[in-house]
Structure 1
């Protein structure tokens, strides 16, 4: 890879149009003469549908159609979402109940769509939706993990005890690993146990979900405009639900106002809109309200973890047992089973040298919105449980929290490090990152700042949180470079939602080919045009798209040099290439890359060569393991429990930084999302009725500017060896490190004599009560 590919500070090409209001979000590009859809949603968390009366709604002014599941029977829809085939204990596959496009006999959660109204205007559609009368026979609702695990109410008959999946790692056919783990705990001087909770939260993207559906009867072609994280994935999921061949569906995405994993999944509304477009012969558009977003967008987290850490007399980590339960909601999304399994175990034992580790987990159904991917999707949970048990151990052994971590960090000379759960960490210098973070945070000077806070009537605490995550997900990604109208065009699969992909990959292509950024265009978001990439998930784009870009650009230059030799009539003379120009030294004969591309196109037409410069390549990589250390300081008001985050240091190792500005923006944004979960965000349900109690910004706290301190962002990069660009994932790094760091800091400020069962979010009320209990 060219050294030019590391950009320190540079602006983003995306910013100008977006700041000028020239963005093309889904609501901006709705088709002309589109009619509007509104959905009738279940007010109950669990109920049988006895009947649906649509007569009044159909007669309402401006209404074109009202559809129920019966009206879509001709399409023979399959399930909207289902688990990937992922074997668990004894090889059992996940139980994945059928999820209908429109519920027809039973509803599994409040907000599940039951009917759809299509009208000439949004107002007419919403008014008519209120006229649809559904007769329900309500059933007991299962809301919490505790209720699901009790099995007192069975949701799906095929999921006994409401269990969707059970899993354990590492594979241990002869029981040797279990025996070694048991021996580690038997010989331990100390065993520290904690239970940690990751509460249910929402993605709350700036742009709510929206879609426009069309159907062309002449070509038998469906088109869906919607905000996605990758059009190929959504096309595959929707086509599967509609039971049509993928070429019959075109999915389009332009600008996307945030996704965080939530927009990588399909939803019931999409096939319903496409079916309506075919039946009506008109484009059908729908935009989610914010209330609908809370009720229907995939939720996240909602898991409980029981952690046991075995230690020697001096605090050396000997073994780790982790057992968890996750509330999956009413249905399984495609990746739900990966979150408490491979994503948790793939991070273990994070940055610490623990020779024996066992992870077990179980997934349960409830009458709540399905849980899917959300920034980190298991990685923040894994690091949270690790850092919380270490802080508990530091208190129990009376060892400074930093010192206990220092004694157990994996040494650089052990790289590559074979973890006890399977993954092999290829690179990283964890002790160096740790010490740099502590120094930048002035950890040694904390006592003086604590004394100053006390003089002002405040309680000050400091928290440390190391992290490591496994990034990449699907380790295969294509890229295509073509030459069109005097431009080099790179086609990629992931659809950006604010990460700056256009800037990063425009610059990377330009640097690899030695041409100007202005000579490069980036395309994505059209399943009929662009390469079928896996999508922007799992912090994979820099490492996988970057590798695919480098691989493709290298092949372009190999082909171009061959054509250039012919064009320049080089014979045996050496042809050199620099800054977009091929030349023969001391002859004055030269030709640009773009001229070579035109010659190659003509030569192919004439049969002189088999391929022009247009090139497709697929990169195959291994995972990357971004890591780092965060340090936070908080002040608590003992009278109110209010938390003020006064200092925050985030040090990361994300490998080679293709663009430092964008890397730091990703880290800062991730930290803010972690702060939100730590001190405020909670998708709360009524535990009896299953009604959502946090369905608006009046009830769901988002982090605000005054919740976030000025962040110090630092780097300790070590080059990743599993991909061509040397990059490690960064999109989830800030969130992965933040939650434990904030909670550890608050607990440190409380300074309780006994362990406190602190459960996020640590709102002022929770903190005040903890202070009283302390």
Structure 2
């Protein structure tokens, strides 16, 4: 770790654990199903068994007569309320200035179902078992339509047209960089025409199930006296979810109270409005009772937004010496049956925001098509375009190393952006403020003993094993929405309440941000209470997405502490009968020579003075920041051994060197990297969401969907190479998505390095696929 971050970090030796863990390890957490109020009714959803069909008839009479049933809600009931679509694409301009086409997505399908699992009716009963039993009595008559599930098939002539307004099933066509006079494209074409080498790869970034530890759960209620709905459900930030629900139901923000307590994993999936929530809220008002629902794991496979699912054609132009001259990327992204809010960002802005990652590539172009299919909608999943960007570039660089005969590490070395080039503006317009990419690469190579690999490969060969080493350099654009707020207020007994808008789902926000406040105010950590997740209490924010919480919420907290101390000095000067510029602050006390007063005494007196009108406001303060994105980066090195008889592989070494800016808590950052690598490993080696031609999800349980196992996960050597970000108060860059971004290319490059030249392989590299790729080279 660099010296620049040492003063800000909580190092291992002084680490006393996450304050969140005590309750969680004792089973005292408060998750979605723990919050069911007494007397709440239970909901169960009738879902389409077909991927594409017209709804000819829905008969709920038998279900209504079933024991314990209180109501059965259908799309017709919601239509009478004039509710709107529950999701639509954020309107960014695409090719020719056209914005995405967003088909209407009802909470309960009424005319047509577009994917397996789409809800058609909601049964409400006194118990969950009664609701589930009654749901089987709902009769739905379907008229089958031909589905299409594969993004490549969906754009072919003759494919079923899902929405007339999206010809060829393309809902959004996009290109970058903007090139109104054609000069950038001309320069790119010239670079390719003059290149000594042009390398082309075709890649698949397969669809993934998010599989959060806690399935979605929700409780809806209605307060008639105050004309206010309440929704308790796991989310990543209440403000976005509340806005989506209010738009769908045509209600005002103050008519909806959104609350989340503990959330068991989110990864981007829990940032959005889902079909279940609107009919539950409607029913709670109609029935005058709370309505509770918990997704089963089987439902989660069929209803939670899924991730990735895109195909790529990548071309890289190189000079004779291996200098990168130009990059061209074409992508088709599978949006599923409907657009979710920023699903199209994943294959557009998020990829272009990362490219050309750590490499100096003067000319580049990205062309993207967002395609509708009869599958569950996709959305952001840990990384959301960042893993895709690094994967496509690292894979084509590896292919270029083979084609040119240049060592993979040396080829990267020749093309890295140098520190002297900072700030560096990419061909797509992003500006990197800081970083030392060559030093990061060299440190990763040294830690992985890259120089000694040839000897290890030779030794493995003697044992009948194939050994390979792979690099995964990465750079991410982090931050998303550039603004964030925090509020600090003072309570009784020396308590400091800190309110933020990002919802935690395992990241350790209370620990990290509590320490930030404690260090900056010089007060005991135990006096700090971090608050989030309650729309009636907390400041709104953009949410815990895009590796943004440390830089955005942390930065907003830092700014707010500065404002508190500025106000505090003015009040302390009055109390100490001194000039403001004479007042110093240290270790929770304002002092002038031998006179001092504590922060809490000043806060208490400031409240009194504000009530008396002596000063305009107390020390309770809301602060905000507006900052550009940050660009965390690094290099992972994976080393694998493959059994030639079975295709089974073992990860024998894994090194992760990363620059996430100033490190606020070393242990938590390491945990984030470990978790990210585990999920990236899952994509690289085991996970694959498979729909058959009829639109059925055939990998709809953990029996068929290959989650990574503990014995697959290697020991990960994590090293921080911190270069402080220059554009936010804490100098942080984000780290939550580093592992999922770097692990897939590092592992796949290692596997391909082990296999004979000419082997072709897409993720996941299961033992069966590896064995088949090996046989194909014989």
TM-score of the aligned structures, taking structure 2 as reference length: 0.98
SS at 2:140 equivalent: strand
Q: Report how far residue 243 of structure 1 moved.
A: 1.0
In the TM superposition, 1:739-758 aligns within 5 A as: 739-752=744-757, 754=758, 756-758=759-761
Q: Report how far residue 445 of structure 1 moved.
A: 1.0
Distance 1:570 1:53, change over 3 A: same
Are residue 503 (structure 1) and residue 503 (structure 2) matched? no
Are residue 441 (structure 1) and residue 448 (structure 2) matched? yes
Are residue 419 (structure 1) and residue 426 (structure 2) matched? yes
Report if aligned partners of 1:62, 1:119 keep a CA contact under 8 Å in 2: yes
Matched residue, 2:559 = 551
Q: Report how far residue 150 of structure 1 moved.
A: 1.1
Q: Report how far residue 457 of structure 1 moved.
A: 1.9
Matched residue, 1:262 = 269
Are residue 624 (structure 1) and residue 630 (structure 2) matched? yes
One of 587, 596, 600 as aligned partner of 2:606: 600
What whole-Å deviation, never above 9, does each CA across 1:530-587 have from its counterpart, x for those lacking one?
Answer: 000110000000001111011100010010111111122225882221111112213x
Could you tell me how far apart the structure 1 residues matched to 2:646 and 2:58 are?
50
Are residue 216 (structure 1) and residue 223 (structure 2) matched? yes
Matched residue, 1:515 = 523
Q: Report how far residue 3 of structure 1 moved.
A: 7.4
Could you tell me how far apart the structure 2 residues matched to 1:296 and 1:643 are?
33
SS at 1:5 equivalent: coil
Report if aligned partners of 1:184, 1:318 keep a CA contact under 8 Å in 2: yes
Are residue 281 (structure 1) and residue 284 (structure 2) matched? no
Could you tell me how far apart the structure 1 residues matched to 2:510 and 2:237 are?
14
Could you tell me how far apart the structure 1 residues matched to 2:440 and 2:496 are?
39
Matched residue, 1:37 = 43
Could you tell me how far apart the structure 2 residues matched to 1:410 and 1:5 are?
27
Could you tell me how far apart the structure 2 residues matched to 1:194 and 1:277 are?
53
Could you tell me how far apart the structure 1 residues matched to 2:542 and 2:457 are?
48
One of 55, 62, 66 as aligned partner of 1:60: 66
What whole-Å deviation, never above 9, does each CA across 1:416-452 have from its counterpart, x for those lacking one?
Answer: 1111111011100000000000000001111221122
Could you tell me how far apart the structure 2 residues matched to 1:173 and 1:506 are?
49
Distance 1:572 1:227, change over 3 A: closer
One of 171, 174, 193 as aligned partner of 2:178: 171
One of 77, 101, 108 as aligned partner of 1:102: 108
Matched residue, 2:776 = 773
Report if aligned partners of 1:5, 1:512 keep a CA contact under 8 Å in 2: no
Stretches of structure 1 that go unaligned for 5 or more consecutive residues are none
Matched residue, 2:645 = 639
Q: Report how far residue 590 of structure 1 moved.
A: 2.0
SS at 1:114 equivalent: strand
Q: Report how far residue 467 of structure 1 moved.
A: 0.5
Matched residue, 1:343 = 350
Matched residue, 2:568 = 560
SS at 1:150 equivalent: coil
SS at 2:442 equivalent: helix
Matched residue, 1:111 = 117
In the TM superposition, 1:241-640 aligns within 5 A as: 241-485=248-492, 486-570=494-578, 574-586=582-594, 589-640=595-646
Matched residue, 2:739 = 734
Report if aligned partners of 1:5, 1:507 keep a CA contact under 8 Å in 2: no
Report if aligned partners of 1:2, 1:511 keep a CA contact under 8 Å in 2: no
SS at 2:414 equivalent: helix
Matched residue, 1:681 = 687
Q: Report how far residue 272 of structure 1 moved.
A: 1.1
Could you tell me how far apart the structure 2 residues matched to 1:363 and 1:509 are?
43
Q: Report how far residue 72 of structure 1 moved.
A: 2.1
Compare 562-571 and 738-747 and name the one that shifted more: 562-571
Q: Report how far residue 484 of structure 1 moved.
A: 1.2
Q: Report how far residue 92 of structure 1 moved.
A: 0.2
What whole-Å deviation, never above 9, does each CA across 1:323-346 have from its counterpart, x for those lacking one?
Answer: 110010000000011111110111
What whole-Å deviation, never above 9, does each CA across 1:601-627 have from its counterpart, x for those lacking one?
Answer: 000111100010010111111100010
Report if aligned partners of 2:569, 2:580 keep a CA contact under 8 Å in 1: no
Q: Report how far residue 709 of structure 1 moved.
A: 0.6
Report if aligned partners of 2:646, 2:767 keep a CA contact under 8 Å in 1: yes
Report if aligned partners of 1:49, 1:135 keep a CA contact under 8 Å in 2: yes
Report if aligned partners of 1:190, 1:313 keep a CA contact under 8 Å in 2: yes
Could you tell me how far apart the structure 2 residues matched to 1:83 and 1:656 are?
35
Could you tell me how far apart the structure 2 residues matched to 1:571 and 1:19 are?
51
Matched residue, 2:151 = 145
Could you tell me how far apart the structure 2 residues matched to 1:660 and 1:502 are?
15
Could you tell me how far apart the structure 2 residues matched to 1:33 and 1:53 are?
28
Report if aligned partners of 2:573, 2:580 keep a CA contact under 8 Å in 1: no
Q: Report how far residue 2 of structure 1 moved.
A: 11
Q: Report how far residue 641 of structure 1 moved.
A: 0.8
SS at 2:155 equivalent: helix
Report if aligned partners of 2:239, 2:501 keep a CA contact under 8 Å in 1: yes
Report if aligned partners of 1:169, 1:358 keep a CA contact under 8 Å in 2: yes
Could you tell me how far apart the structure 2 residues matched to 1:109 and 1:573 are?
66
Could you tell me how far apart the structure 2 residues matched to 1:422 and 1:622 are?
13
Could you tell me how far apart the structure 1 residues matched to 2:579 and 2:401 are?
72
SS at 2:309 equivalent: strand
Could you tell me how far apart the structure 2 residues matched to 1:583 and 1:469 are?
44
SS at 1:239 equivalent: helix
Could you tell me how far apart the structure 2 residues matched to 1:576 and 1:712 are?
43
* Coordinate RMSD, CA, aligned: 1.1
What whole-Å deviation, never above 9, does each CA across 1:497-548 have from its counterpart, x for those lacking one?
Answer: 1011111111101111111111111000000110001100000000011110
Could you tell me how far apart the structure 2 residues matched to 1:240 and 1:207 are?
27
Could you tell me how far apart the structure 2 residues matched to 1:6 and 1:146 are?
47
Could you tell me how far apart the structure 1 residues matched to 2:670 and 2:190 are?
44
Could you tell me how far apart the structure 1 residues matched to 2:203 and 2:354 are?
17
SS at 1:705 equivalent: coil
Report if aligned partners of 2:52, 2:374 keep a CA contact under 8 Å in 1: yes
Could you tell me how far apart the structure 2 residues matched to 1:331 and 1:407 are?
43
Could you tell me how far apart the structure 1 residues matched to 2:584 and 2:465 are?
67
Compare 470-479 and 72-81 and name the one that shifted more: 72-81
SS at 2:80 equivalent: helix
Report if aligned partners of 2:8, 2:662 keep a CA contact under 8 Å in 1: no
Could you tell me how far apart the structure 1 residues matched to 2:105 and 2:358 are?
40
Report if aligned partners of 2:151, 2:333 keep a CA contact under 8 Å in 1: yes
Q: Report how far residue 190 of structure 1 moved.
A: 0.6
Distance 1:667 1:378, change over 3 A: same
